[in-house]
Chains A and B, each alone.
Chain A
Amino acid sequence: MTDYGHDLLFGVFVTPTAEPVRQAVDAAVAADRAGLDLVTFQDHPYVTRLADTWTLMSYVAARTERIRISGNVLSLPMRPPAVLARSHAALDRLTGGRIEMGLGAGAFWDGIEGMGQRRLTPGQAVDALDEAIQVIREVWDADAPGGIRFDGEYYRVAGAKRGPAPAHDMSIWVGAYKPRMLRLIGRAADGVLPSLSYLPGGIEGYTEINRHIDGAAVEAGREPAAVRRLLNIDGTFAPAGTGFLKGPPEQWAEDLAGVALEHGVSAFILATDDPAVIATYAGEVAPAARELVAAERDRT
């Protein structure tokens, strides 16, 4: 039993289809209206059937009222960290604090290289992400004296102006599975964002994720609860239950509450573009799962 005591977040992972691009906007607006907490988008600038994620996020921010928005996750090799920091802060100010930063060290290096960016080994990509997080936090630290000076192996900043600061204490959530990246998250990030379908051994794989993050956090003098545990999920609604997240909404709620209480996962991001599924997830699954978790937390 692991529980970091975070409030639960329910979100969606919407395909940023380029044509018709309105499909993604409609799904995000549906998620906002349905009362979900988060709408997130994958980011693969080298895949041309997808619309540019940051542009879409900015547009969606203007078309929604309450929902929080993040990349899931943004491709760091394609997006310089200082630009990421500034644009996230700017959009956070425009939205009154509805933006979070989802970051990834880069996948699909053939595509990244094809667009003219440098190919990194997995180890180098972790180091680059480590540097990027430092640069981002420097940019956001608008009140610190002097310009930003950062002399890294992958990123260099020589005296650039600080700011703007985001409108709220923005989280950096990182997509990760492997020990080195997880230890970086425990030390320096605010959340881990893996996908259930890629977890080795299924949901039990989260035990390893928590072990690495918690250890690194404690080593760095942080509370393990400083790192939110998020999860991308897939599922189908059906009248009869046939497996994990395959069944009626009540069963989904039980499945997710179980994962929340067992593994400390506090954000469930469902991959769907379908307004009807979004409505069911927001209207039936989320409140029921929250109730189950609250009841269990009260009991213990």
Chain B
Amino acid sequence: MKLRHRLRIGALVNSGAADVAPHAEAAGYDLVAVTGPDAWTTLSWIAGRTTGIRLLAVGLAVPEFDPAVLARSAAALDLLSGGRLELALTGEPDVLTEAIEIIRGLHDTARPGPLRHPGPRFRIPGAQRGPAPAHHIPIAVTGPGPLPLADGWFAGTPAELRAAPDLPGEKRRAVVVPLDSGLGDLLEAVIEHGADTLLVPISDPADLGRFAAGELREAVARLLPHPLPVVAKPASVRSKRRPGIEYDAIPGSLAELAVEPGDPGYQRVRSTYMRGGAPGLVLRPRTVAEVADALAFARAHPHLPFGVRSRGHGISGRSTNDGGLVVSVAALDGIEILDESRRLVRIGPGARWMDVAQRLAPHGWAITSGDYGGVGVGGLATAGGIGWLARKHGLTIDRLVAAEMVLADGGRVRASHRENPDLFWAVRGAGGNFGVVTAFEFEADEVGNVGFAQLAVGADDPAELLVHWGRAIEEAPRDLSGQLIMGPARRGQPRIAQLAAVVESDDPQTIVGRLQPVAAVGPLYDQNVVLTPYAGIMANASPAGHDGHGEPVSRSALVDHLTPEFAKAAARLMDSGAAHWFQIRTVGGAVADVPADATAYAHRSANFSVAVMGADERRLDTAWSELRDHFDGLYLSFETGRGARVLDAAFPPATLARLRELKRRYDPGNLFRDNFNIEPGGTR
């Protein structure tokens, strides 16, 4: 028994017969392989006419295809098709060796510097790496091609397969078999010779049903002691696997895009923006059904850490771990206008807020979010969302009208004021405990150009500055929102506070008028005021992957007023050196219009959200505890603490009791435990 991968059956079509592909997909074929002189064009076309079937370009001849151009083309098609592409190359072994090195090198965006290739056949003096494909594109070779570099081997006929070289188990074997092959011949190819991918020449959709696919799959299943993995990984990858994970049981829908520690793409997904991580497996569902599959896999691993990641900016939501599972919903990143007249927008959890802002700007709309464009929609819109338009338009969750979720048991529900209202209440402030939101529906606000100011003011007396700034904010109309950032004093330098403010107006006089009281809180060292669409403020994130290190320590508090007592205590905290980052964002205004019991986010009376970060948790807590008397709750998204203490601070007793009851109903097994976990069995 040589079979090592789950059996796949594909339709092999000539580039003239592209119309077969959607039929093959409908008939349950696993892949469509295209051959012929225009295979690439045809396969790209087919990608646009199919949704799930895998796409194999057969017989791309090198050097006729330039490997550097092929690398770019392959990345584009893999991105366009959501990670469905595979290649089968032909050519002289030496030439193919170079070609595969060039393709892999250009796709490896984690490596620094441009790709250089010295030849002899291809000379690349220095080409930028990228774009990276959506997944590791399997490359098969024909004949005596460079097997050690390839992911598989391609035989044009069963006879060729019988004479196959000895292949390590992780290499796939594909073979072209005649349409009218008998079951005995097919079983011989699969069982005796280990062919895991059978390609059947199809020129007419009517032929699709003539191949004995069903009988073959049944016969193979009967002969196998246990299911085979969709992708068999080489020993070098398997050796880096973490204990307790059933890697070979990853559902077929997820296996191709799953990333484990030995995989080439692991560096790009292991860590988050602020946190270093080493998860044992990252699953990347592309559809709601795949999210349910991923959760089923997570349920089968209750002993492991498990996080859900939208774009990896979570502070309270870890979304990475050591040796556990991560489900990344970055691929669910659609942004769709549902109803122009109601400004109704449907957004996937993996979209970034800068993309949302960009998409809505032409309509003259915006949804208030956070202050950083790289943050994903999912994490922010299930926690709160304190952003640049908060005082005028409230929290991000206040713009939410419905959420579609996959629950812990895999069930799919819609939550809104009318449907599952309890869940809709919970998802707005404690959503990370209740499921994976697969689509949000927001009502956007009409937001034209805004004034965006960045000011540097002297802070010789930080306490006095805080009091003045707090008063200026509270006295300002709601069209002004903003933030203040201060660091520890540095010897020999004047102390500076960085102020930022957004004035929702396109009238320069109004903007200047609103900013004056804020700018007057201290001597002005530097200022920059621009008139910009909201999308212009949010376009501030780099597209690169995250490479966070270590573990952040962050504390959050909500505060009603910046009283002189609070301000003095805050100044002492800054002087202590325990915090290297001190930030206050404005809330209040429209945030406080919503009744405290309307959403799980309950501490609505506060005018300010304070966040501090430090290196030493114990030292930070000692200094932070001096301010405790001034707090009225906390905002969980800026808090790294866990346990009963922070839960009690984040949620008033009645809110927490209701959340606990709902947790027992919706997630009794505590599957969602990574972000401000409300344990179903807890009592307080």
Which residues on A are within 8 Å of B, measured CB to CB?
18-22, 25, 45-49, 51-52, 54-56, 58-63, 78-79, 86-87, 90-91, 94, 113-116, 274-277
Docked pose: A60 CA to B44 CA in angstroms = 9
Interface size class, chain B: 35 or more
Contacts of A113 on B, CB cut-off 8 Å?
Answer: 125
Contact between A49 and B130 (Cβ–Cβ < 8 Å)? yes
Known pairs A20-B355, A51-B79; list 20 more (Cβ under 8 Å). Answer: A18-B131, A45-B69, A48-B131, A49-B131, A51-B131, A52-B69, A52-B77, A55-B77, A56-B80, A58-B41, A59-B77, A60-B48, A61-B45, A79-B69, A91-B41, A115-B127, A116-B68, A116-B117, A116-B122, A275-B362
Contact between A276 and B41 (Cβ–Cβ < 8 Å)? no
Contact between B76 and A18 (Cβ–Cβ < 8 Å)? yes
Partner of A20, one of B44, B76, B130, B333: B333
Docked pose: A21 CA to B130 CA in angstroms = 13
B656 CB to closest chain A CB, in angstroms?
A: 38
Q: Which 4 A-B pairs have the closest CB atoms?
A: A62-B48, A58-B44, A276-B362, A48-B130
Residue on B nearest A20 in the bound complex, by CB: B333
Contact between A90 and B48 (Cβ–Cβ < 8 Å)? no
Contacts of A56 on B, CB cut-off 8 Å?
Answer: 44, 76, 80
Q: From A46, A51, A90, A113, name the one whose CB has the most chain B CB atoms within 10 angstroms.
A: A90
Partner of B73, one of A52, A116, A276: A52
Partner of B76, one of A51, A62, A116: A51
Any chain A CB within 8 A of the CB of B47? yes
Docked pose: A226 CA to B32 CA in angstroms = 42
Any chain A CB within 8 A of the CB of B532? no
Any chain A CB within 8 A of the CB of B124? yes
Contact between A114 and B126 (Cβ–Cβ < 8 Å)? yes
Docked pose: A47 CA to B46 CA in angstroms = 25
Contact between B125 and A51 (Cβ–Cβ < 8 Å)? no
Residue on A nearest B46 in the bound complex, by CB: A62
Partner of B80, one of A45, A51, A90, A274: A51
Any chain A CB within 8 A of the CB of B114? yes
A300 CB to closest chain B CB, in angstroms?
A: 38
Contact between A276 and B363 (Cβ–Cβ < 8 Å)? yes
Partner of A55, one of B37, B80, B125: B80
- Interface positions of B from 64 to 82, Cβ below 8 Å from A: 66, 68-69, 72-73, 75-77, 79-80
Contact between A90 and B38 (Cβ–Cβ < 8 Å)? yes
Contact between B40 and A87 (Cβ–Cβ < 8 Å)? yes
Q: From A20, A52, A94, A274, name the one whose CB has the most chain B CB atoms within 10 angstroms.
A: A52
Contact between B126 and A52 (Cβ–Cβ < 8 Å)? no
Residue on A nearest B49 in the bound complex, by CB: A62
Docked pose: A21 CA to B78 CA in angstroms = 10
Any chain A CB within 8 A of the CB of B129? yes
Docked pose: A52 CA to B80 CA in angstroms = 10
Contact between A86 and B127 (Cβ–Cβ < 8 Å)? no
Any chain A CB within 8 A of the CB of B123? yes
Docked pose: A65 CA to B114 CA in angstroms = 39
Docked pose: A60 CA to B41 CA in angstroms = 11
Docked pose: A198 CA to B600 CA in angstroms = 56
Known: A18-B131, A86-B37. A52 touches B75 (CB 8 A): yes
Residue on B nearest A275 in the bound complex, by CB: B362
Contact between A25 and B80 (Cβ–Cβ < 8 Å)? yes
Any chain A CB within 8 A of the CB of B543? yes
Docked pose: A18 CA to B73 CA in angstroms = 11
Contact between B73 and A94 (Cβ–Cβ < 8 Å)? no
Known: A62-B45, A115-B68. A87 touches B75 (CB 8 A): no
Contact between B42 and A90 (Cβ–Cβ < 8 Å)? yes
Residue on A nearest B18 in the bound complex, by CB: A94
Contacts of B45 on A, CB cut-off 8 Å?
Answer: 58-59, 61-62, 91, 94
A272 CB to closest chain B CB, in angstroms?
A: 9
Contacts of B123 on A, CB cut-off 8 Å?
Answer: 116
Known: A58-B41, A114-B127. A52 touches B72 (CB 8 A): yes
